[in-house]
Structure 1
Amino acid sequence: MIVETGHFALVLAFALAVVQGVFPLIGASRRDDRLMAVAAPAAYGQFLLVLLAFLALMHAYITSDFSVKNVAINSHTLKPMLYKVAGVWGNHEGSILFWALILALFGGLVALFGRNLPKSLHVRVLAVQGLISVGFYLFLLLTSNPFERVFPVPLEGNGLNPLLQDPGLAFHPPFLYLGYVGLSVAFSFAVAALLEGRVDPAWARWVRPWTLIAWCFLTIGITLGSWWAYYELGWGGWWFWDPVENASFMPWLVATALLHSAIVVEKRDTLKSWTILLAIIAFSFSLLGTFLTRSGVITSVHAFATDPERGVFILIFLLIVIGGSLLLYALRYDRLQPGGLFAPISREGALVMNNMLLTVGAATVLFGTLYPLLLDALTGDKISVGAPYFEITLGSLMIPLVLIMAAGPFLRWKRADLFGVVHRMRLVLFVSLAVMVAGYFIAHHDAGHRPLLTALWLGLGIWLMLGTLAELGERIKLFKVPVMDSVRRLGRQTRASWGMTLGHFGLSVMILGIAVTSSWQSEHLDVLVAGEKIEIGGYELTFNGVRPLAGPNYTSLAGEFTVRDKNGDEVTQLLPESRTYASPPMTTTEAAIYARFFGDLFVAIGEGQGQNAAGQDRWSVRAYYKPLQFWLWGGAMIMVIGGLVSLSDRRFRIGVPAGRKRTAATGKSEGGTAHAT
């Protein structure tokens, strides 16, 4: 009965989404307050109904109700409770229901926190959110019903893909979906603004918090996925340029461009049409990611669906949403008049170049992702586009981007003096060049491969890091006023400016981590018997043999390693595992990692290699030492913290118009708003 209740709630949510998407639009066009008043209650009701449907499916998973086809295919009685719950969104039908739930959640939040918006804009945003929901409910009810029954009822389920039975993968999809769906709000604001025929600085201020929320969640989701791939798949890498990885990276790049573009709209009332287009493209990439993972056109551990019917439905929905919004954009383009003019060398010019590089970067990733699929469809030829393409094309675009990121905040609005900026950054430039030269000789001597690229990215990382700190120093007039005055100025910095500083600083930490770990990582592949030792990264690893372990739904062979430092002192014990799952049958590698601030010791155990002449079992072992690997994850988290700090600035919260009025009444300056990036 609970399952049927969930299914019925989903049908009612679809009906409310139709009401939310149609009547408020009619009311806004007729200025009918009664019809416009429908929007918010419909959004609240839709969220409650889809939440009820989601909880009904979760109940079926928790109780192992194998009469539900979705549960029978993706769950098992022996599966730990965490993965029973995570299994709700670890499959095609459940993930789409989860997407619909988050979409309804954001609609409810817009209804709740957007009450200070102009009424017609508010209801149009909610209406567009409702229309998007209609598409996903139809997809669920017509092609991907999560509540479908199965008969006869199996005694046991098939279980979840063992690769997904991991804490990282339990939390990675929810954060990623929050980021994907969060961009729907920016899209809805863009379409609503086109319907209104007006985009102004207030609109940019309203749309930025929602974009920033989505950007933060996307960053967390991508980082969790990368971290999972690093320790779960056993190959020691953290990014493979898998099409599904790219599907999340592309909207992240465009959302980053959107955040910066909205600053120009807010501060200078220009780039309005471009910002609207970015909001449309960002959500379009989110929908494209849905198509890639659920249409069957690619094969990946992340990809769920292989049914062409579902792929055709998503493709049609994709064409309607993207095509319809771009058509509306073309029809209303003439109403988006440009605002103030600016010189190429200016803060606006730097942000425009930032946008160009980010969007072209997203386009290169899109081309590399879709080209093999298009070639296969047109000619039948099978090719793969690997890391070299992405690293060369995207890397060449990121070089000027990083240069601009450090120098941009030093530029004035409207017109700036480039030579003056170079003079103010001369010390940063000198140190960065010195690091590049030193890095080249060290990499040429030690790494022996790509020393020029290593030196370049080391210099760029230091350039961005020191440039960010130097810009903060200028804001607090460090060394120009007494120290205590600088400290007081530091305390008076807006949270938005702190957000920019942390965001840029976090990226510099990531760049340094990537440069160092890519160039100076050590790898040791060997076949060992108990008692043998290997040395790597300043550590000595003693292999003590292999022992069996039993998990809740798997058996495991764990290699025992004793790790000692240069002084011979024991620092830790590592237990990499090779796990074998029975349902579904699969063997997975669980690496053991000794993570420290300056580097990771990574060990994975492979298959048995028979016995040696003395009758001892031989095992393949893969060991890595990855210097500054932690800086990748740490840099990403600093960026997220920067986004959250910026979001906490009252001037960038939803409902800002009231705050703006109070600011105007007290005569306080809002000069710091440009720094929330």
Structure 2
Amino acid sequence: MIPEIGNLALAFGLALALVQFVMPLVGIATNRWRMVLVAKPAAIGQFIFVALSFACLAWSFYINDFSVAYVASHSNSSLPVAYRIGATWGGHEGSLLLWAFILSSWTFAVAMLSKALPALTRARVLAVLGFVSIGFICFILFTSNPFDRLIPIYPIDGSDLNPLLQDPGMVFHPPLLYMGYVGFSVAFAFALAALLEGRIDTLWARWVRPWTQAAWMFLTLGIAAGSWWAYYELGWGGWWFWDPVENASFMPWLIGTALLHSLAATEKRGVFKAWTTLLAIAAFSFSLLGTFLVRSGVLTSVHAFANDPVRGTYILIFLGVVVGASLFLFAARASKVSVTSWYNLLSRELLFLVNNLILVVATVMILIGTLQPIISEMLNLGKISVGPPYFNLVFTILMTPLIFLVGLGPIVNWRQHSFQDLVARTRYAAIASLAAGLVFVISEFERQATDLVQIFVGVFLIAWVIILNLGDWWKRASKKRSSTLMNLHKISPSFIAMYTAHIGMVIVVIGVVISSHFSVEKNIRLGIGQNEVVEGYQFTFEKLTDVVGPNYDALRGHFTVTKNDEVVARLEPEKRRYHASGQWMTEAGIDASLMRDLYVALGERLPDSNDWAVRIYVKPYVSCLWLGGILMGLGGLIAMTDKRYRARAKQTSKSSDSIALEAV
């Protein structure tokens, strides 16, 4: 009965999404105010029914209802409860329902938190979000229904969740990632609403900016969580593989970052209006493209959900309709919202423009590298592989000038800045950054020339951004009347958010540069009682024990790590065999700290012996990757707390609503 309620609730959600899409637009076109007012209650109703549908699916997993085909394929009676709930979005059908639920949640948030919006703008935004909901709910109901039954014959027990997904990362990584993916639909809806109205101004940018910051924050945290999950779960010690599905989440993040900077320029100076609108369309379009890549079967990935041509065709058509219609509307109306703005060759506007161009070019290059193998195979040109060497080279070349600009951005004025003043403010930072880079190069002089160049550039950029951002923060605080230290917290949340995000990005760069060039890996043969020294750490294989888990059996290795005759860590990597599937999984043993990670993974038992293949890593500062990601997400959260946006919106709400009422 519960699955039928969930299916029916989803159908009601579709009906309300249709109402939410059609009636407000018809009301605006025919000057019928009552029809326009339907948008908000329809959005609330859609959220309630889609949430009920999602709850029904989660309950089916909780009670082990194996008469539901999706539950039988992705759960098992011995699966722990937390992973049973996570299994709700552990497959194609459930992940799409999670997407629809999060989309309805964003729609609900817009309906409830946009009282300051002009009434007609709010109706248009909700209508666009309703259209997107229609596409996804139809996709679920007609091609990927998670409530399909196996009646009258169904299994006593389920096939189990993929062992790779039986991890705490499965509980929080997909929801965070989807919150970011789907969150860009709000900026997309605002962009289309502005094009329909033919009006984009600084007030519009203030409305869109907090929603974009929220989406960017969630996507940042989702990507960081996924990287951390891959690092400790896959047993290979890496944190990014340039997998096509990893790229699918990274591309909208790059466009979203460009969108945030473009919105800041539009709000402050009224420039880049058409460019900002196009970026808002592109950010959500790349989110949809990621959905197509993951679920169409056109690529092979450990992350991919489905290999179904029908589903892939549907998503491709929907992607074409959304992107095609929005670009057509942009082409038809962009001239009405864009104005020609002039700014000096040295200004913050120019830096933002260069920043955005670099981010867009980086996105295009990643897209080319991701799709090139697919296109080559479709054209019968043979199978080719585009791997990390291509992406690392392209990304390094493009990101180097971008990070340099991150240091300059906060200190360059809007409209115009004196070149002499810029030199005066950056010369000491440049000298200190050059010195830091040279110190690192001298200390590692025995390395290859290419490594030395990369280390020098990386350290220079790290020091450059940190010195200039902290220096600008201090300078702004010193302008206050009381002492500088007392006023550091009185700076605008927008500026604090900017500094936090920039410093977070630099900390990520620290993790990338140092872990890439200074990590040590050893693949060795090791028996019980034997040891191996890696970078001054002695790893001793003490013993093996049998472990019985809730739905698996495991062999657990016990390693003691000593340095200077002192025990610094005890690591317990495992080889797990899951009962239902019979699959073996590697669980690494990691001792993590800010300065270094000690990492041990058990391989296979070697033939005709009691020795094991063991992989050992000593990875300095790799934790900076995730610490930096958290700080970047924190920057997005701080930006959302800036009361100036809400205050300004309230000041204009009455007059805007009165204008909207008169228009109707």
In 1, Cα distance between the equivalents of 2:192 and 2:618? 50
Task: Provide the C-alpha distance between the structure 1 equivalents of 2:396 and 2:644, rounded to a whole number of angstroms.
Answer: 35
- Paired residue secondary structure (2:607): strand
* Paired residues of 1:465 and 1:509 also in contact (CA < 8 A): no
Deviations 1:186-212 (A, max 9, x none): 000000000011000000010011110
Q: Report what 2:441 is aligned to.
A: 440
Aligned to 1:658: 650
Task: Tell whether the 8 Å contact from 1:254 to 1:281 is kept in structure 2 after alignment.
Answer: yes
Q: Corresponding residue for 2:278?
A: 277
* AA partner of residue 260 (structure 1): H
Q: Does 1:107 align with 2:107?
A: yes
**Deviation of the 1:301 alpha carbon:** 2.1
Contact 1:528–1:620, Cα closer than 8 Å, also in 2? yes
For 1:387-466, list aligned pairs within 5 A: 387-445=388-446, 450-466=451-467
Distance 1:75 1:537 in 2: 43
More divergent stretch after superposition (187-196 vs 163-172) = 163-172
Match 2:522 to one of 521, 524, 533 = 524
Q: Which amino acid aligns with 1:172?
A: H
Match of 2:271, SS? coil
Name the structure 2 match of 1:633: 626
* Alpha-carbon shift at residue 413 of structure 1 (Å): 1.0
Contact map agreement 1:164 1:170 (CA 8 A) in 2:
no
Q: Answer whether contact 2:598 2:618 (CA < 8 A) is retained.
A: yes
Post-superposition CA distance 1:156-200 (Å, at most 9, x none): 111111101111122110000000000000000000000011000
Distance in 1 between the 2:436 and 2:423 partners? 18
**1:106 Cα shift?**
0.6
The 3 A distance-change label for structure 1 pair 569 and 611 is farther
How far, CA to CA, are the matches of 1:31 and 1:278 in structure 2?
A: 31
Q: Secondary structure in 2 aligned to 1:88?
A: helix
Bigger CA drift: 384-393 or 235-244? 384-393
* Long gaps (5+) in structure 1: 663-677
> How far 1:448 moved relative to its partner?
7.5
The match for 1:505 among 503, 506, 509 is 503
Q: Relative to 1, partners in 2 of residues 1:468 and 1:431: Cα closer, same or farther, differing over 3 Å?
A: same
Matched, 1:94 2:86: no
* Match of residue 119 from structure 1: 119
Q: Residue 474 of structure 1: CA displacement?
A: 1.9
Aligned-pair CA distance for 1:32? 2.1
SS of alignment partner, residue 445 of structure 1: coil
Runs of 4+ off more than 6 Å: none
Distance 2:489 2:503 in 1: 18
Q: Secondary structure at the match of 1:87?
A: helix
How big is the shift at 1:513? 1.5
User: CA shift at 1:80, angstroms?
Assistant: 0.8
Structure 2 matches for 1:550-565, cutoff 5 A? 550-565=548-563
Deviations 1:504-540 (A, max 9, x none): 0111111111111111111122111111111223322
SS at 1:379 equivalent: coil
1:303-382 correspondence to structure 2 within 5 Å: 303-338=304-339, 340-379=341-380, 381-382=382-383
Residues 507, 639 of structure 1: 8 Å contact kept = yes
- Counterpart in 2 of 1:671? none
The equivalent residue for 2:572 is 575
Report the Cα offset of residue 451 of structure 1.
Answer: 1.6
In structure 1, distance between residues paired with 2:220 and 2:489: 28
Quote how far apart the aligned CAs of 1:150 are.
1.0
Aligned mates of 2:363, 2:492 — CA distance in 1? 31
Q: Is contact 1:447–1:519 with CA below 8 Å preserved after alignment?
A: no
Judge conservation of contact 1:650–1:659 (CA < 8 Å) in 2: no
Contact 1:194 1:329 in 2 (8 A): yes
Aligned with 2:640 (options 647, 666, 669)? 647
Using structure 2 for the length normalisation, give the TM-score.
0.96
Deviations, residues 588-643 of structure 1 (Å, cap 9, x unaligned): 1111111111110011111101355xxxx101111110001111111111111111
1:340 CA displacement: 3.8
Partner residue in 2 for 1:231: 232
SS of residue matched to 1:425: helix
CA deviation digits over 1:378-416, x for unaligned, max 9?
A: 115111111111111111111111111101211111111
- Please provide the CA RMSD for this pair: 1.6
* Alignment coverage as a number of residue pairs: 653
Partner of 2:657: none
For residue 477 of structure 1, report the CA deviation from its aligned partner: 3.0
* Counterparts of 2:211 and 2:615, CA distance in 1: 44
Contact map agreement 1:646 1:652 (CA 8 A) in 2? no
* Structure 2 gap segments, 5+ residues each: 655-664
What's the counterpart of residue 589 of structure 2? 592
Structure 1 distance, partners of 2:445, 2:93, is: 52
Moved more, 336-345 or 89-98: 336-345
Distance across 1 between alignment mates of 2:312 and 2:648: 41
Partner of 1:667: none
Q: Secondary structure at the match of 1:416?
A: coil
Alignment of 1:4-19 (within 5 A): 4-19=4-19
Decide whether the 8 Å contact of 2:556 with 2:573 is kept in 1.
Answer: yes
How many angstroms does 1:26 deviate by? Answer: 1.4
- Percent identity over the alignment is 45
Deviations, residues 312-350 of structure 1 (Å, cap 9, x unaligned) = 000000000000000000010220232542112101001
Structure-2 change in CA distance of 1:659 and 1:433 (3 Å):
farther
**Amino acid paired to 1:658:** K
Name the CA distance, whole Å, in 2 between partners of 1:449 and 1:200: 48
Query: How far, CA to CA, are the matches of 1:515 and 1:660 in structure 2?
Result: 48
Indicate the residue corresponding to 1:495 in structure 2. Answer: 493
Structure 2: how far apart are the matches of 1:190 and 1:449?
Answer: 45
Alpha carbons of structure 1 residues 660 and 344: separation in structure 2 relative to 1, 3 Å = farther
